[in-house]
Amino acid sequence: MKRATIAATLTVAGVLATGWSLRVAHAQPQPVCLHGASETPADAALRQNAIGVMRAINTAQAQAFATNQAYRSFRELTASGLPPRPAGFLTQLTVEGSTYALLVKDTTDPCRYTLFSDQEGLIYVGSPLP
């Protein structure tokens, strides 16, 4: 009888703990993405500006490569008159030989909206894995 009582107590405790952990998991609010379905006009404008910066860098890199067979550093590109990146966005450019990797990330977005590109000139949208 004692074993049955202990087993029943452990079973009830396990069920209650599982139910509590499920409620805690559901209670946590999901982040509201700045560039998702509820994007505001202001956030849309920032996103479009970020895309414009990406296009300007890709164009400048294509012109540099056509002229010198080499891609340019971010410092060299900004000296030649790139548009400013939008407030809250981080720009990273890595140049290595005949390739480059470029990203523009919204540091204010809880969903970490990020644009990626490389020497092919295509722009991709990404977000981190959960």
- pLDDT tens for each residue of 2-46: 544 444 444 444 544 445 444 555 666 777 899 988 899 999 999
* DSSP letter string, 37-84: TT--HHHHHHHHHHHHHHHHHHHHHHHHHHHHSS---HHHHHHT-PPP
Q: 20-29 pLDDT, tens per residue?
A: 444 555 666 7
Find the range with the poorest average confidence among 37-46, 68-77, 79-88, 115-124: 79-88
Q: State pTM to two decimals.
A: 0.75
Per-chain mean pLDDT for the chain: 84
pLDDT of residue 128: 85
Residue range 39-60: mean pLDDT, rounded: 96
Percent pLDDT > 90 in the chain is 61
Tokens read off for 2: 């004692």
Extents of the domains making up the chain? 41-126
DSSP state letter for 105: E
**Rounded to a whole number, what is the distance in angstroms from the first to the last CA of the chain?**
46
